[in-house]
Amino acid sequence: MADFFLINSLILSILVLLCLYRVVYGPGVFNRLVGASVIGTKTLIILLLIGFLYGRVEMFIDISLVYALLNFIVTISAAKYFQRRGAM
C-alpha cells in the first residue's frame, strides 16, 4: 500500500510541474491564478498522501486544513485585487 501512495504522490508532483508551466507562461492573469490554485490543491493531496505514508494522518490532516484555508484566502484576495485593478 505504501508503494501505491508513493506512486500517486510522484504522479501528482509531475502534474504540479505541468500546472507550474501554466502559471509561468499563462496567456492571461485568470489562467495564472487558476494554475496557482490548482497547484495548491494538488499540494494538499500530496500532503495527505505523505501522511498516509508516515502513518501520521491526523497530524497531516491538520496541516492540510490550514494549507487549504490559506490557499483559498490567497486565491480570493488575488482575484479581488486583479478585478479592481482591471486586469481580468
Long-range contacts of 10-18 (CB under 8 A, 24+ apart): 12/42, 12/45, 12/46, 12/49, 13/46, 15/42, 16/42, 16/43, 16/46
What is the span of the domain harbouring residue 13?
2-85
Cell reading at 46: 500530496
- Print pLDDT tens along the chain (88 aa): 889 989 999 999 999 999 999 999 988 888 899 999 999 999 999 999 999 999 999 999 999 999 999 999 999 999 899 888 876 5
Total number of domains constituting the chain: 1
What is the model's pTM? Answer: 0.84
DSSP helix/strand/coil, 64: helix
Distance (Å, whole) CA 37 – CA 72? 8
